[in-house]
Amino acid sequence: MAREVRLGVTAQDDPTRPIPVELFTRTLNALRAATCHAGEMLVGADERDRGRFGGQVAEQCQLLITELRASSALAIVSLPEQEQPRLLGPDEHGEELEELGERALGLVLDISEALVSEGVDDQGIIRLLPQWATERQKARFFNDMAEMSPTEAENARVSVSSAVQGAPSYDLTPDERRLAQSLANPTRDRGIETQERTIIGQLVELRVKTEIHFCVEHGDEEFVCPYDEEFFDVLRENLGNTVSLRGLFRVRPRENEDDQALDLLELIDVRPIDMSPLVLQTIEWGERQVSFTQPIRVPVSIEYDTVLLACEDLRIFAHGDSVQEAAADFAEQVLWVWDTYGRRSDQELSPDAQAFKLRVRRILTEGEPASGHQEAQ
């Protein structure tokens, strides 16, 4: 855990060029704000608690300006060596909270490292934050990180590091400022919008440092589920299973590609999907019954984020957002096939249709089956 964060400001091109006091003051205030807002996120504070936990972090932190020259400045935000105040209540997962000040300073350092790392994408940076953090809390925190970084006009370098011997220093530049701003205001960029969408994939557990996230594997992509107490139990119970997840997504065009990138912002509905084949013999629709002469097994598969139930012998390909919806579509198509081909006279059908009618009547019959059955309604 971090007990100290060093913030240095120097001129970018000329070590003798004076730096504005306003720049140093702004970056220092932004570091303090980021640390306080990190504390609020770490304990899962909601809007009613706004400022309460951030204040506890601020009370723990001490500020020491060790160097202030015309062309450079250095400040240290640290925790005193004596025993720190502790929040003893359980957090969202029933775990005892660690020393909040250390965790908050550590999170600021982790995000600073991620912002300057070429190997970490936007979602990788966001995963460093607590999974229960709200979009508003994330926006405040990333705005703080943007304010810690210099603008193009300031032509300065802001370095962030810990007090550990030999620890690396992370130089925040205008590029990191733009990245933090885009994370704080993801919809302001051109071509970005939010949409409700449904994705289907396998629910797995993803560990980022000491935090556990629920994640839906969707093709080659992973979507981390934001923390939501309403869905926590159903997510935990369905680890390893296939689920249908409906949520609010940020949709943005991929650079140099025709498709779109999706970021999951909010959960709307999560439902497990039973991938076991359906065993059917009777289709009921109102007062009508059409039965299979022998029970059939209909495999459940996923295609383009929909559930697919297929019977190639009857040329049926039914879709739905859930197995229940796909089964209803399947039943309707069975009735259509029977009415269109099975009940028609040969005089009403073409030669190819007559051949298909023979196949339909070998598979289907009107009324109840001869033995017990499972129904699709």
Q: What is the pLDDT of residue 95?
A: 34
Task: For residue range 305-353, list pLDDT tens digits in order.
Answer: 889 999 999 999 999 888 998 999 999 999 999 999 999 999 999 999 9
Residues 205 and 165 reside in one and the same domain:
no
The verdict on 15 and 112 lying in the same domain is yes
Q: In sequence order, what DSSP letters do the residues of 101-144 get, joined into one string?
A: HHHHHHHHHHHHHHHH-TT--HHHHHTTS-TT--HHHHHHHHHH
Q: Which of 243, 223, 221, 222 is nearest to 234 (CA)?
A: 243
Looking at the structure, tell me whether residues 72 and 150 fall in a common domain: yes
* pLDDT attached to residue 85: 39
Could you give the CA distance from residue 65 to residue 103 in angstroms, rounded to a whole number? 22
Residue ending a domain, among 227, 244, 272, is 272
- Across the range 119-124, mean pLDDT stands at 82
Q: Which pLDDT value is given to residue 97? A: 39
pLDDT of residue 86: 39
What is residue 375's predicted lDDT score, i.e. its pLDDT?
A: 47
Same domain for 209 and 174: no
Q: Tell whether 246 and 283 lie within a shared domain.
A: no
Gap between the Cα atoms of 196 and 266, Å rounded? 9
Please say whether the beta carbons of 44 and 132 come within 8 A: yes
* One domain for residues 167 and 261: no
pLDDT, mean of residues 53-66: 60
Domain that holds residue 285: 278-376
CATH code where residue 208 lies: 2.40.50.140
Supply the DSSP string of 220-279, one letter for each residue.
Answer: TEEEEPPP-HHHHHHHHHTTTSEEEEEEEEEEEEPTTSSSEEEEEEEEEEEEE---SPEE
Closest C-alpha among 201, 246, 244 to residue 220: 201
Examine the fold and report which residue of 272, 294, 319 is the final residue of a domain before the chain moves on. 272
Regarding whether 69 and 202 lie in a shared domain, the answer is: no
Query: Which helix (DSSP H) or strand (DSSP E) does residue 296 occupy?
Result: strand 288-298
- Please indicate, yes or no, whether residues 113 and 201 belong to a single structural domain of this protein: no
Spatial distance between the Cα atoms of 202 and 345, rounded to a whole number of angstroms: 47
- Angle, helices 52-60/21-42, rounded to nearest 10 degrees: 120
Cβ within 8 Å of residue 110, ≥6 positions away: 128, 209
Q: Which of 46-55, 57-66, 123-132 has the lowest mean pLDDT?
A: 46-55
Q: How far apart are CA 166 and CA 96, in angstroms?
A: 31
The confidence band for 297, taking pLDDT boundaries of 50, 70 and 90, is very high
CA distance 289 to 161: 73
Overall domain count for the chain: 3
Q: How many whole angstroms separate alpha carbon 33 and alpha carbon 54?
A: 8
From CA 112, how far away is CA 149, in angstroms rounded?
A: 10
Phi/psi at 299 (5° precision): -70, 150
Instruction: Please state, in angstroms and as integers, the Cα–Cα distance from residue 323 to each residue in 57, 119, 272, 320, 376, following that order.
Output: 49, 39, 10, 7, 11
Q: Give the residue ranges of DSSP H helices in the chain.
A: 21-42, 52-60, 100-116, 122-126, 135-148, 174-184, 229-237, 323-337, 351-363
**Residue 273 near residue 306, CB atoms below 8 Å:** no
Over residues 195-239, the pLDDT tens digits come to 888 899 999 987 665 566 788 988 888 888 887 888 888 998 999
- Last residue in a domain, options 272, 297, 312: 272
Residue 87 sits in the same domain as residue 209: no
In the chain, how long is the greatest CA-to-CA distance? 100
Do β-strands 375-376 and 278-285 pair in parallel, antiparallel, or remain unpaired? parallel
Instruction: State mean pLDDT over 80-88.
Output: 43
**Are 308 and 229 within one domain?**
no
Q: How many Å apart are CA 144 and CA 59, to the nearest integer? A: 19
Same domain, 138 and 158: yes
Read off the pLDDT of each residue in 86-105 and give the average, rounded to a whole number. 50
Question: Do 28 and 46 have their domain in common?
Answer: yes
